[in-house]
Amino acid sequence: MIKALFFDIDGTLVPFGSGRIPQEVSDAIRALRAKGMKVFISTGRHLCWIDNLGDTEFDGYVTVNGGMCVLKDKKTCIHCTPIPQEDIDRLRNYTGEDTLPIVVVPADGDASIDKVDENVEAVTRQLNVPPIPVKDLQSAIKDKEIVQLMAFGSPEQRENGPLFKSILLNSQYTSWHPRFCDIIPKGTDKSHGIRLMAGHFGIDLSETMAFGDGSNDVGMVKAAGIGVAMGNGGDDVKAVADYVTTADTDHGIVNALRHFNLL
């Protein structure tokens, strides 16, 4: 029996470029909750950047790729894993003209970026998020608990530079977009977050279903009792899924829920 469902946002609940959750998906989530199932968000976004779900209600939010779990009141945090302080201290030396734009996401959501380039502009347009305030890296990380970083640039730029070779030694990156990656503490991902959230409600992972489309959803889709990959998703997430539904623009969520007789 499925007691809890976890949904990624971008490319899953919300088709890229649409900026909103489709009405049929919102109606389906209301129907699931009316039947007594818990429904959660599981996203790479911080709670302060979740602005495309309309008035659809959820039972909680697994955010920053599993780093923070927040209940439906959007205030009660039941889990937080920050970036290790040693990595943050080394990040102070990440300076120079050849460095990649870095977004700093503190636990309080007061995110900032140290510089803006064409990659940053393209992604913020695609995700329909407002411009990120620009702040120098030193000020952004000072006296803050950092729960996520983001690095813009190509995979080659990220992998060949010093960021992961000599600075963020206790962190790992996950990427669901060619222009940037999310950076989280080693050992955490969405599977970690959904396990903690489900456990808070006394639900075993075998009683969960998870939906995703990107590389950062692989762990979650694999860990859930039933993992569903969107038809528009990547081959890596499809490879670990129990079921591949249609695309986010082709009734993917609703079709999968009907396939498993949840609607």
Instruction: Report pTM.
Output: 0.90
Tell me the per-residue pLDDT of 47-73, one tens digit each, with 9 for 90 and over: 988 989 999 999 999 999 999 999 999
pLDDT, residue 155, reads 84
User: 140 and 102 share a domain?
Assistant: yes
User: 213 and 250 share a domain?
Assistant: yes
Q: Show which of 169, 185, 201 is a domain's final residue.
A: 185
pLDDT, residue 197, reads 98
Q: Cα separation of 1 and 117, whole Å? A: 48
Note down pLDDT in tens along the chain; length 263 residues: 999 999 999 999 999 878 899 999 999 999 999 999 999 999 999 998 898 999 999 999 999 999 999 999 999 999 999 999 999 999 988 887 789 999 999 999 899 999 999 989 988 888 777 889 999 999 999 889 999 999 998 888 888 888 888 999 999 988 777 888 999 999 899 999 999 999 999 999 999 999 999 999 999 999 999 999 999 999 999 999 999 999 999 999 999 999 999 99
243 contact partners, CB below 8 Å, separation of at least 6: 226, 227, 228, 229, 256, 259, 260
- Contacts by 170-173 with C-beta closer than 8 Å and gap 24+? 170/83, 170/84, 170/86, 170/87, 171/83, 171/84, 171/87
User: 172 and 207 share a domain?
Assistant: no
pLDDT, residue 231, reads 98
pLDDT, residue 102, reads 94
How many structural domains compose the chain? 2
Q: Cα separation of 69 and 162, whole Å? A: 30
Q: Name the β-bridge partners of 38.
A: 4
Q: Show which of 145, 164, 185 is a domain's final residue.
A: 185
Domain that holds residue 50: 4-80+188-259
